[in-house]
Chains A and B, each alone.
Chain A
Amino acid sequence: MSSLAYLYRTSMKNKIKKALKRPATYIAAVFILFYIVMIYVSMGSIVKDFGVDNPKGLATILSLLVFYLIPADMLAYIKRKGVIFQKADVHFIFPSPENPKRVLLAAGMRSFITTAVAAVLALMFGLIYFHVPPVRMIGYMLFLMVLQNLLEGSIMVICYANETIPDKFFTVLKYIFYVLMSVFALVAVYLLWKKGAHLNVLTEYIQLPVIQLIPLVGWAIAVTQFILTGPTVCNVICLVLYLLTILALFCYARKMTCTGAYYEDAMSFAEEFAIRKARAQKGEVSTGKKKKYLKKASIEYKGVYGKAIFYRQLLEYKKNRFFIFGWNSLLCLGIGIVIAVVGVRGVFDEFGAGKVFAIPAVVSYILFIFSGYATKWSKELENPYTFLIPDSGIHKLWYATKVEHIRSLVDGCLITIPGAVALGLSPVITILTVLLYMCLIANKLYLNMLSDALLGKMLGSTAKSFLRVLLQGFVILIGIVAAAIGGIALGVEAGFFLMILIVTVITLAAALGASISFERMESLD
């Protein structure tokens, strides 16, 4: 067995062994099983309802998936960021006497296996729900497993391992790709504008010769159509072009010499990926940016002990290009504008007086689905100095999260004011809505901290997020009940105020419980 085969086989074996010892695995397995059964039961009727329970319908769906999958993969390879390497690969595999092309293909194995699994799923779905003849479905499965993987592997090797083609070529290729994608988008927009948004338009769209003749992406669509719905002049030409391209790329990739110059890019991406992974494990959304450029700034510390944490954070934010504002602020403003536009169109009018709860409802939903964004407070818990500062846990918790409350005030204004103006809400209700937003954000923050403090390393980040979502869902439910009771008994404003009061009390209780995290570092171990 080769060393790489040994490495991946042993890793997989150990991962499975470890997973089998964790209770979370069994809980996840139950959920996955439930999910599979749900899909199995509901898929048939969904497919029928949409009128796509035939080979043509499947061909349309799979062709649309091509748009989603192939361009993203190709662009990632062109940028030399599509293959995931670990830091341990850099340490042990890169300096070893292993063929760099084989190293690359082994690292890309996850992608090939994913394609193979997708091929098997497509086969099952095609036979069960779309009534495609078995021969055609087997043909499609082989197309994905063999041809598509061969094409992806060849492109991967050429983009990463080439040491003769100048970088400029790939920069130009990247822009050509963007142009091709724009062509796809423009044709789609034109058709939708001309014929309206119907499923038939999508079928017509992917059968257009101008789409199918676009290299690689279009050709893959044509091959899909060829296999599932039968030959046409256009898709046969595309099939031939596709096969010839694979042959040419495969031969070139195989012949090309590679000494491992790509290791430098792979090493830098491995570091970037490790950062992203660590952030994702904390439930933060990562933009993948490795290094931030910071401005020069200064601050006057107007307090001692725990307060110093707040001023240090403020100094760090002042060094940011956009101070405390980030993509989240933009998102809030965008949502605020959407609520305003929808409000102006009178969508919320049917709720009558209850339309004052439209913004809180949208906000609660968004807070529910988004896991979070990068904050400074969570990093405080990784810093031993936080625990050494001679102050109480609750003080340190407050000053470590104070900036977040200011940020949520700003974001709350951005998300509320446009909608409030459009819906004609009173200033009092507008202020209460902003306060509610702040409360919900604080609630989420402290419940996150509390679930961390309670569960420690017992369960993974997914389980912790699940617990947090469960707790927050419960809090929102209590808030809704309070609002309903207050609203019926004393009026809308009072209902609103009662909701904020209840959420605030629960948030304070969560904060008090979470302050244990700031007492000693081992509380997270």
Chain B
Amino acid sequence: MGFMRVNYIFYMDVCVCVHLTQVAYAKRCTEMGIYMLEVQNLSKKYGKNLAVDHVSFTIPDGCVGILLGPNGVGKSTIIKSIAGLLRYEGGVGIEGIPSRKVEAKKIFAYVPEMPAMFDALTVREHIEYIRRAYNSQITDEEIEQLLRRFELDDKQDKLGNELSKGMMQKVSICCALAIEPKVILLDEPMVGLDPAAIKELKDVVLELKEAGTTVLISTHMLEMVKDLWDVMFVMEKGKIIGSYTKEEAKDQDIEALFFEMTGGEKHE
């Protein structure tokens, strides 16, 4: 964990002394070897079962990373570990800060695979709660716009226990975006969404990337992320068996790359 301590102090110095835009700051950090999201030697056991086995990766700032792999290879466990929901061995840094620290939590958002709403809060009250919990500077107009994008503007007064799975997923995404995070973790975000919402989410991811936000998406739906990714990590049996950056892949299809690494076949 030593690296994180050093980076954390460094981060504080940079933040206090230099006033930079988010994009410029992200670039500066990368040049100096600080990644917005850094996972080092992460291992996680459930009882005797090793779910994640010494996984390490970094995602350059303002990039979209994707964790690919079939069900049960440990993708969600990695995301949950980064989000601070699990005990693990190894280290996770958000902008050089250990991810469990409050300072790190302030700048990352998490969209779980299975959303769960507060029964007695309305859609709008969920976002209001998030705004307070993260001291987010998002304005009422921006919230309205966000809800409109995900077709939730007419469902603002619906309670959490009155929402369908798809609607919960949309609220979950809106809440994550309301944080205005520097890092966003999306665990199987397309599951349960309608085509319009999937398209909207893809647009949002590209906009986040443009704004310098680092995105990590875990998915097994290759088709859904083929236009989004900058760096991909392919997982098998709790390990990362390979990775590619967009530059390295050139024009190769994501599915071809995936099946090349996993030894499977792409069915046309």
Contact = CB atoms under 8 A, between A and B. Distances in A.
Interface of A: 1-4, 6-7, 10-12, 14-15, 18, 86-88, 90-99, 259-261, 263-264, 267
A258 to B, nearest CB: 10
A264 B118 contact: no
Interface centre among A1, A10, A87, A97 (most CB of B within 10 A): A97
Contact of A6 (B112, B114, B120, B132): B132
A194 B86 CA distance: 53
Contacts of B121: 7, 10-11, 14
Contacts of B122: 14
Quick one: which of B98, B122, B132 has the most chain A CB within 10 A?
B132
Interface residues of B, number: 37
Given A6-B129, A88-B160, A94 B84 contact: yes
Contacts of A4: 133
Contact of B133 (A3, A15, A87): A3
Contacts of A95: 83-85, 105, 108-110
B172 to A, nearest CB: 7
A87 B83 contact: no
B120 A98 contact: no
Contacts of A18: 120, 159
A97 B118 contact: no
Nearest to A4: B133
Nearest to B100: A259
Interface in B36-94: 83-87
B97 to A, nearest CB: 11
A87 B125 contact: no
18 contacts: A3-B129, A6-B128, A7-B121, A10-B121, A12-B120, A14-B125, A86-B119, A90-B85, A91-B115, A91-B117, A92-B118, A92-B126, A95-B110, A96-B105, A96-B134, A97-B134, A259-B101, A261-B100
Contact of A7 (B103, B129, B172): B129
A15 B105 CA distance: 30
B203 to A, nearest CB: 24
Contacts of B115: 91
Interface in B172-189: 172, 175
A250 B118 CA distance: 31
Given A10-B125, A15-B120, A259-B100, A92 B87 contact: no
A97 B120 contact: no
Contact of A97 (B106, B117, B125, B128): B106
Contacts of A6: 128-129, 132
A97 to B, nearest CB: 4
Nearest to A15: B120
Contacts of A88: 116-119, 160
A92 B86 contact: no
B219 to A, nearest CB: 19
Nearest to A10: B125
The A interface is mostly helix, strand or loop, or mixed, namely helix
A312 to B, nearest CB: 25
Contact of A14 (B83, B86, B109, B159): B159
Contact of A92 (B84, B102, B108, B175): B175
A263 B85 contact: yes
Nearest to A2: B132
A91 B172 contact: yes
A91 B112 contact: yes
Nearest to B106: A97
B85 A94 contact: yes
Contacts of B116: 86-88, 90-91
B129 A97 contact: no
A11 B133 contact: no
Contacts of B225: none
Contacts of A7: 118, 121, 129
Nearest to A262: B87
Q: Which of A14, A90, A92, A263 lies at the interface centre, i.e. has the most chain B CB atoms within 10 A of its CB? A: A92
B129 A92 contact: yes
B146 interface: no
Contacts of B83: 94-95
A11 B120 contact: yes
A95 B129 CA distance: 13
B133 A97 contact: yes
A1 B112 CA distance: 27
Contacts of B254: none
A283 to B, nearest CB: 19
Contacts of A94: 83-85
Contacts of A93: 133
Nearest to B117: A88
A431 to B, nearest CB: 49
Given A6-B128, A95-B105, A14 B120 contact: yes
A10 B123 CA distance: 12
A15 to B, nearest CB: 5
B130 interface: yes
Contacts of B118: 7, 11, 86, 88, 92
A54 to B, nearest CB: 44
